[in-house]
Chains A and B, each alone.
Chain A
Amino acid sequence: KQEVTQIPAALSVPEGENLVLNCSFTDSAIYNLQWFRQDPGKGLTSLLLIQSSQREQTSGRLNASLDKSSGRSTLYIAASQPGDSATYLCAVSFSGSARQLTFGSGTQLTVLP
């Protein structure tokens, strides 16, 4: 069964700290991996999309890496701010799944002022 796991489930850090969120997946045959942010009770906002041929993507203070062979991705957030507080979701499009997304359970991030 193709699964996506995110660790930790929750994380609390002081403002200004650099942090890393982890995502692992069970099958290295993927189309792409996408990181989303979800605020409480709201929809998903796409942060970064990494194609299977890419190793990383960057947007502002965010950097996402992809290591297909080990089935891992990390989302690095630099100089965290209270406004970064949200749930971060990792989603993988596995090959053979008609490019449908399989989601992890998310990491709930709290950045303390």
Chain B
Amino acid sequence: AQSVTQPDIHITVSEGASLELRCNYSYGATPYLFWYVQSPGQGLQLLLKYFSGDTLVQGIKGFEAEFKRSQSSFNLRKPSVHWSDAAEYFCASRGSQGNLIFGKGTKLSVKP
């Protein structure tokens, strides 16, 4: 069965430091991959998506992600984290039925 793994449950970074959130997927064919962000009590906001083409994808709020087929990974990065980036981040893959399959999420805390 398809699955998405986010190995880090909680990450704390200092404001201004760089960030990398890990995501691994399992799917034989070309995956369609997404990163969403959720602030407390809110819904999910789409940060970026990968369907095909350039493996480095730019998103909103200064985020980017790189698709690496050889590593089955789609890691999210940001060069300089802001306090407002504190939230929970979800990686997702499109399932065979069109639904999204989500990882368990990584909670990001930002130290001043």
Answer yes or no: do A and B interact: no
Task: Please give the residue numbers on chain A whose beta carbons come within 8 Å of chain B beta carbons, in ascending order.
Answer: none
Which residues of B approach A to under 8 Å, CB–CB?
none
